[in-house]
């Protein structure tokens, strides 16, 4: 049976404005396993089924070892279990060392990146590991073949220069129409920054940006992917900004829907409800 | 003049996970009559007009009489006033005894059921009256000819078996597109579980499920109905989960829009704004 | 080993203004067992010790049997286990049937009643079972020898007449000084209405009344009791009024401190920290 | 360089139900300049660029001078700087004296008015300056050639009579489809009452009305305007109703997007992202 | 029968940092009359008794007349009814014109002023009417014989100079012990700024200052006054800062307790519970 | 002029249950410098005076260097400025490396530790650096001569053994009476865990424990210290648990009062208000 591996990466060392995302993984898990909700995905995959979900726990940052190496090695170990891997941040900076590990197994890889921000600064406040910069690092190191950014609504001139430099494909929030489908031709890594959603749905983020997507739009985009989704992350949940745990629950829902599509695309299947 | 009857049914005896919906009716009424809002419906029906709204108050459960009989009899009395009836829950379990009373007056009846959940379990935690089971009871007892469920996003295999067994027509949330119209050919009962809405709009429910409808989508669906809506319910408002009374207000809005369509379809009219 | 029995009584049928207290027991238990807190009491009693706490679960009200009989019988069964019993409401009305069961085992009994309100109305809105009336019923039926009310701040003329009629001893909030000790000479039943506390500490009650006690004042009063506390209740937690679960946690704290004193006084001991 | 003038008008003297909107301007500015967000607009206009934004501060109402004259003169001074002007309320009543000043510079003017309410009462509770009446005053005084109201969901018979009397063009919320474009042929004044948005996105308004627009729908409508937007207002933000500053942030976002379109249409440009 | 006059003064024109207190009076009245609470005071005075409470409504500021004259005249009219007068702010600036009217009837007058701040600045940000300055105006104009300030916790050198200049008697929060009694020898005006309370009890103020009094401490101080309390105010409730209406309820409680003492001291009585 | 050094230590690597305290320092600073509040202390020290406050910023944890060395060296640099030092956590684990640096300058040192918990576990969940263990490390390494713990309310047998082993002096919350004064005879380090306060005042902590101190009690304890307070910390503010920033403001208040006493005791002065 193909199992989804779930790995918490509670690291917010590189958050520039407001820390707090390191508190996220246990709060997302609490919603995922709460008796009030079904753990079955709309995709038809039931994560309550024995052997369908392997929780690898949280990486531990002891303040001694280099955090990037802790992440790269931890992700490597989780991938070694053979199933698709979903990582829970932490802030968006972690996507860089995650992809170092993922890339070793994936010679062809497209990143689908849902976010309000491009996260492409060469460095931010002098920090090249900043959570505003991971995709600059990723593209420089050649950790993906294509980068598709969806839902952006804070693009500036430096971003546009980086789009050109790295050949980034961009669908801004203003152009995200219902029923959007992406044209994909390689295995896929999906990186979801929760601020890609509108703050009404996901207030628990450090940088709220009105005008974002609804959970249904994101789920619909994910359900439409037919290439294998080999790994991904859900990042930037900041409980200190949340209202009544709304965002933790949205993150848990996305674990089920993104994770469900990881299983389905690994099975070569198509969406049950389609 | 055709009057809408409004009846509170503050009963949450059969809520499995979290009680609290018994507190709902007075809080919904408070929003309905609040000076900050108009009591006129978008349908053009004005519930501030003398004689347009008959508030039958709340049923009283004294802990002695059988609650199902209290409901069936109370609903029967309210229906005897001749106008359409809108019941305020309480949890979804109450729809079963409500329909026992409604069915006696309606030889042909279609239920339009808006919800995140199918509520079709044969029993839940051993309780056949559970708020997760009313539609199993209703269909077994033949209390409706058709059951159309709209907005579901937690369907599992037991539900699919029940869909087949009872001939349930299902439009999952993933397939609910703007402008959805239902093909109806009998009088209609509308049952609205507030968790059919996305938690951003209606956080005050015991089982929040992201990816739901907007109030506008629900109102638009209701406005499109042309068959007489003879009765209905708005259930599962749980104030202990609400944020800043948002959900109480949405419930009050739906009282006006569903109630307004009850009056309009009883008058044989069509939507004013159409 | 002497064990504390814990029994949930999720009944709010007799709440006049706002229902919702039926949702309380599982939310109090969640705080009691939350990993963030110690389950050890300040009294030195450790409820994490095997055999120290027997959770009898929640009574079930099926809407068929008389709720007062369900409570009286359920409490009787819990008392039959031999240890002291702590009941979690539900509203204050439940104290009446609880005491019917308790009185059968206790020929001499003093009630220590902490509350903002006297709850002594002969009837309220025509309902003699109202949560504003339990102590009128209790004293009429002779279910206690003495009634001491502490923390009141809404006394009116009808209450004063009832004080006289039933010989109630009253310490209003205005006269509750730090270090208050009660002069007790029989076994004790402690009934804590959470609105006895100031709303800053316990906002989750249907009838907030500023000017109340602090948790420390209540705990100090409890720690000073030397007679056996044979049973008690913590009632009127209404989650729909709570802020960030503050009141659920205070209720759980009081379970530990009142329950701890039940064990200590049963052991004939005195307060460890004294 | 064309600069946007920003003027706070903290006046809620004419709010009928609940005051509090006078507190809005500094709270909206705080979000606009918060380090967590970019001050660049999706239109491509960057208000962080030197000289692009002139903050005229807040008008001061000293309780001596006539507030309508304070507003008319203050707006006149701000307009004299030559750039487009965006006013921050305060309640909707202020639009009347604002337009007295704007009209002097604009012989041809269309008002695009986004709101849940028509604000066309001849008077409300005897007050002709009421925040429910500004557009009656505006149209009577001939301060605009056309009035287009978008997003209404509380229309009644008095409103319909006023629509007829003043030739108001109306697009109710029920008819606002994605991609809506307005047919405009004169310079434009845009007046945004934040309750035009659904309360899930903008709870911080005195009169919440479910079924409203999303921020994206409003932004998309604004981005589609090609005529010069010479002035406008964002009104009715009431912090006492807000949740976690959600509405202040939406208002700040609309300052950037409406302000950005003011600059772009003044430059004769078209939307960058189009 | 001696009646308490209640007058709302919804004016925040002179709030320097954050407006919003103009929204307070109707919200305080809503709590005062809410069915969940008794309108009887702990003093034994029952404001539900016919003729005991005269609500003079709210003053209207039309933006034309001088607000100070509106207040002075409105207060004069309310005082002309003969009973003691309790004013609901609005911000603290209103105490100045209130006292102009009160002083005309009271040749001997002591102000008891409960507050976190001395409000004695000669002017604040150039505004002599600022809500940080009323007691400088009051003492300059000789509107009281003595000024006693209780609960201060932000005293600076300018304040100390003003203490000396005006002979102010000060009891800082650090020195406010339980059971505090004031030595009074003239009729009394009581001015309660809600930020005199700790923010845990009264978060709904523009300038929260931890380390303040509890409601019980304030009530106890009021209950200990034996001189006639001829007038007073409760000011600075800012709903935009409140949490779950906690502060509105505290304000309503203080209306009952301060108002009750106004009646009792007018009757020449002493505290019932003493 | 003696200046207070302020140093942020945003580290929560060793929080067992819930991370998030790393987000605290900027939020506490925001309240400290907010225009709504005075930056003057009740001690008479004015931190707005030029040269009175040196903000050393936040330590940066880059995920490469050992965090304990980063803290010890950063604290050493801050102490080298010569004035007293106040550190802002982060969780309580940081007190261990802070004291390594402090001890080098202080041959005689008493720790005054205000907390709900003893934080004396030999290790917690296998982590000797746990935030539940710093005082075990501190006492083992001889980093203080005396340890006085105030406000505890979760003492268990392992704690009591450690009290004995290390000679800890303990004043539990149950015994903390108003006006408490400590008998001190060496320079002092004050460590304030915000959960020493009652959750009504400081809800923003990972481990809320009802029955705690009020801010006034803590301030009074601090104001009573006459020995030099050479350094200290305010730790465990977790914004993800806060309500409306109440706890951030309490922390900022304590910065002023503890910092003020650091200056005063360094000046050899006594409390101005005494």
Whether residue E38 is predicted with pLDDT greater than 50 in this model: the reply is yes
Q: What is the number of H-type helices and E-type strands within chain E?
A: 7, 8
CB contact under 8 A, C42 and F155: yes
Which residues in chain C are closer than 8 Å to B22, comparing Cβ atoms?
12, 19-20, 22
Contact criterion met (CB below 8 Å) for D24 and D252: no
Name the residue among B18, B200, B209 with its Cβ closest to that of A200: B200
* pLDDT value of residue B270: 40
Distance from CA of C11 to the nearest CA of B (A): 9
Domain ranges for chain E, please list them. Answer: 4-266
Q: Taking residues D197-214, what's their average pLDDT?
A: 97
Please state, in angstroms and as integers, the Cα–Cα distance from residue C205 to each residue in B39, C195, C251, D28, E216, following that order.
Answer: 30, 6, 11, 34, 19
**Residues of B numbered 18-57 whose beta carbons fall under 8 angstroms of chain C's beta carbons: which are they?**
18-20, 22-23, 26-27
Whether residue E49 is predicted with pLDDT greater than 70 in this model: the reply is yes
Q: Pick one of 3.40.50.10440, 3.40.800.10, 3.40.50.1820, 3.10.20.30 as the CATH number of E4-266.
A: 3.40.800.10
Whether residue D1 is predicted with pLDDT greater than 70 in this model: the reply is yes
Q: Taking residues B153-157, what's their average pLDDT?
A: 94
Contact with chain F for residue C208, Cβ under 8 A: no
pLDDT band at B64 (very low <50, low <70, confident <90, very high): confident
CB contact under 8 A, E198 and F215: yes
Whether residue D268 is predicted with pLDDT greater than 90 in this model: the reply is no
CB contact under 8 A, D219 and A177: no
Distance from CA of C269 to the nearest CA of E (A): 33
CA distance E45 to E264: 8
Burial of A23 (0-12, 13-18, 19+ CB in 10 A): buried
ipTM field: 0.94
Mean pLDDT check: name the lowest of E121-130, E179-188, E218-227.
Answer: E121-130
Give the residue from chain C lying closest to E46, CA to CA. Answer: C156
Distance from CA of C127 to the nearest CA of F (A): 35
Which residue in this structure is represented by tokens 């202080």? Answer: F106
Which residues in chain F are closer than 8 Å to C215, comparing Cβ atoms?
198, 210-211
Give the residue from chain D lying closest to B31, CA to CA. Answer: D208
Contact with chain D for residue E246, Cβ under 8 A: no
CB contact under 8 A, A18 and F19: no
**Residues of B numbered 153-182 whose beta carbons fall under 8 angstroms of chain A's beta carbons: which are they?**
153-156, 172-175, 177-178
Which residues in chain D are closer than 8 Å to E63, comparing Cβ atoms?
11, 13, 61, 66-68, 70, 129
Mutate to test the interface with B, among D200, D202, D212, D242 (most CBs of B within 10 A): D200
**Mean pLDDT of chain D, nearest integer:** 94
Give the residue from chain E lying closest to D27, CA to CA. Answer: E18
Give the residue from chain F lying closest to E214, CA to CA. Answer: F214
Whether residue E35 is predicted with pLDDT greater than 90 in this model: the reply is no
Contact criterion met (CB below 8 Å) for A92 and A193: yes
pLDDT (tens digit per residue) in E162-174: 999 999 999 999 9
Give the residue from chain C lying closest to F243, CA to CA. Answer: C244
Distance from CA of B135 to the nearest CA of A (A): 19
Using a threshold of 3 CB pairs under 8 A, tell whether chains E and F touch.
yes
Residue D120 CA to chain centroid, in angstroms? 16
Whether residue E222 is predicted with pLDDT greater than 80 in this model: the reply is yes
**Mean pLDDT of chain B, nearest integer:** 94
* pLDDT value of residue C209: 97
Q: Is F22 helix (H, G, I), strand (E, B) or coil?
A: helix
Mark the ranges of chain C whose per-residue pLDDT is less than 50. 269-274
Instruction: Give just the sign of the alpha carbon dihedral A126, A128, A134, A140.
Output: positive
Chains that contact C by 3+ CB pairs under 8 Å? Answer: B, E, F
Name the residue among C38, C243, C253 with its Cβ closest to that of F211: C253
pLDDT band at D174 (very low <50, low <70, confident <90, very high): very high
Torsion of CA C247, C214, F195, E248, to 10 degrees: 60
Whether residue D177 is predicted with pLDDT greater than 70 in this model: the reply is yes
Q: Which of B36-45, B124-133, E147-156 has the highest mean pLDDT?
A: E147-156
Rounded to 5°, angle at Cα D209 from D203 and D213:
80
Whether residue B273 is predicted with pLDDT greater than 90 in this model: the reply is no
Q: Taking residues D13-25, what's their average pLDDT?
A: 90
Q: Taking residues E81-104, what's their average pLDDT?
A: 97
* pLDDT value of residue B254: 98
Whether residue D269 is predicted with pLDDT greater than 80 in this model: the reply is no
Q: Is B50 helix (H, G, I), strand (E, B) or coil?
A: coil
CA distance E273 to E43: 7
Name the residue among C156, C175, C211 with its Cβ closest to that of E38: C156
pLDDT (tens digit per residue) in F103-151: 999 999 999 999 999 999 998 888 999 999 999 999 999 999 999 999 9
Which residues in chain D are closer than 8 Å to B220, comparing Cβ atoms?
174
Name the residue among C154, C203, C211 with its Cβ closest to that of E216: C211
In sequence order, the 6+-apart residues with CB closer than 8 A to the CB of B101 are B71, B72, B73, B75, B76, B79
**Mean pLDDT of chain E, nearest integer:** 94
CB contact under 8 A, D273 and A175: yes
Contact criterion met (CB below 8 Å) for A61 and F63: yes
Q: Taking residues F6-15, what's their average pLDDT?
A: 94
Q: What is the pLDDT along chain A (274 residues), one digit of tens a residue?
A: 899 999 999 999 999 788 999 999 999 999 999 888 888 999 999 999 999 999 999 999 988 889 999 999 999 999 999 999 999 999 999 999 999 999 999 999 999 999 999 999 998 888 999 999 999 999 999 999 999 999 999 999 999 999 999 999 999 999 999 999 999 999 999 999 999 999 999 999 999 999 999 999 999 999 999 999 999 999 999 999 999 999 999 999 999 999 999 999 999 744 333 3
Mutate to test the interface with A, among B120, B200, B246 (most CBs of A within 10 A): B200
* pLDDT value of residue C269: 46
* pLDDT value of residue A126: 87
Name the residue among D42, D223, D249 with its Cβ closest to that of A199: D249
Q: Is F36 helix (H, G, I), strand (E, B) or coil?
A: coil
Whether residue B271 is predicted with pLDDT greater than 90 in this model: the reply is no
Decide: pTM greater than 0.90: no
């Amino acid at each position: 049976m193909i199992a989804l591996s779930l790995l918490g990466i509670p690291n917010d060392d590189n958050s520039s404005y407001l820390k707090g995302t390191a508190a996220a993984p246990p709060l997302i898990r609490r919603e995922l396993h709460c008796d009030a909700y079904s753990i079955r995905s709309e995709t038809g995959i039931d994560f309550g089924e024995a052997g369908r979900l392997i929780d690898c726990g949280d990486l531990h940052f002891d303040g001694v070892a280099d955090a990037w190496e802790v992440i790269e090695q931890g992700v490597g170990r989780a991938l070694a279990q053979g199933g698709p891997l979903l990582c829970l941040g932490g802030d968006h900076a972690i996507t860089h060392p995650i992809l170092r590990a993922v890339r070793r197994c994936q010679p062809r890889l497209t990143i689908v990146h849902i976010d309000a921000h491009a996260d492409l600064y060469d460095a931010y406040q002098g920090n090249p590991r900043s959570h505003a910069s991971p995709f600059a690092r990723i593209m420089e190191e050649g950790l993906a073949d294509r980068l598709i950014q969806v839902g952006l609504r804070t693009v500036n001139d430096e971003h546009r220069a980086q789009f050109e430099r790295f050949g980034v494909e961009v669908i801004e929030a203003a152009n995200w129409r219902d029923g959007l489908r992406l044209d994909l031709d390689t295995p896929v890594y999906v990186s979801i920054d929760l601020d890609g959603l509108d703050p009404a749905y996901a207030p628990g983020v450090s940088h709220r940006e009105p005008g974002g997507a609804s959970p249904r739009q994101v789920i619909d985009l994910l359900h439409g992917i037919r290439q294998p989704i080999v790994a991904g992350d859900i990042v930037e949940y900041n409980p200190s900004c949340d209202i009544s745990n709304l965002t933790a629950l949205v993150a848990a829902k996305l674990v089920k829907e993104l994770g469900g599509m990881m299983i389905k695309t690994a099975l070569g299947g198509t969406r049950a409800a389609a």
